[in-house]
Amino acid sequence: MILRRIRRKLYKITHPAIAEVWMLHRVVDSRSDLPGERTLEVTPTWLRQQVDQHLAAGGRFVSLDTLMHELQQPAKRQKGTVAVTFDEGCRETLEQVLPLFRQRQIPFALFVATDFVGGAHPIGWYRQQPPMMSRDELAAVCRDPLCTIGAHTVSHPHLCQLSEAQMMEELTLSRQQLEERLHIPIRYFSYPYGERNAAVMDCARQAGYTAAFEAWGGAVRTRANRYNLPRIPKTQTP
């Protein structure tokens, strides 16, 4: 136990934090009473406060491209660097996030599971289905220079439970579908439920992604594995 703590401390000293990647899901005016749903929801007011507090403290927000660039270029790194990501592709992001982020010129990334676009397939963990962005809405938002679109598989499966062929299919098909529909290169991926193992991470590399993100793990640190980049769930409490 003590040894593990010392090892962790040493790791942190030898691998300084470079940036944080915030992970969000839904931004809603009225949060659910169900704990499982509530934990994935923040209000627009709370999000605005988080963003403004970070800016007031001298922090800055960057795109995933800039984050990746700075990961390779130690001289470019700055303290207080944050990249903001939203998983799933709920429509509220357009209504609640876009005006705020445009006003403050904050880049953001949306990780989209292609089966969820337009609500074509239900999202299993919501009692009441969230409104999802349509193909046209996604095409419109991706033209905003602040927006990066990333893939989040086709059907949002538990990737570690699939065969390697199925994993590859989820990773390559989602990328292809987004690239064909949106006419942009898709470079980034986030693991559904944050679940990944060596085989899944290898599939992400083979599928041609530049980087892939998990769902927890704290700050991104020097010499981080590009296919195992941590994020910080931004959770509004209570």
Q: Which residues bind Zn ion (CB under 5 A)?
A: 87, 192
Nearest to Zn ion of 156, 221 (CB atom): 156
How near is the Cβ of 214 to Zn ion at its closest, in Å?
Answer: 12
Q: Which residue shows structure tokens 């905003």?
A: 144
Nearest to Zn ion of 71, 141 (CB atom): 141
- Residue 75 is classified by DSSP as G
How near is the Cβ of 88 to Zn ion at its closest, in Å?
Answer: 5
Nearest to Zn ion of 66, 228 (CB atom): 228
Where in 51-133 does DSSP place strands (E)? 60-61, 81-88, 108-112
Which three-class secondary structure state does DSSP give residue 26? strand
How near is the Cβ of 133 to Zn ion at its closest, in Å?
Answer: 14
Q: Tell me the C-alpha to C-alpha distance, in Å, between residue 138 and each of 1, 5, 13, 34, 97.
A: 47, 44, 41, 28, 14
How near is the Cβ of 192 to Zn ion at its closest, in Å?
Answer: 5
Nearest to Zn ion of 41, 70 (CB atom): 41
CB closest to Zn ion, residue no:
87
Instruction: Report the alpha-carbon distance of residue 177 to residue 11 in Å, rounded.
Output: 39
Find the helix packing angle between 164-182 and 198-206, rounded to 10°.
40
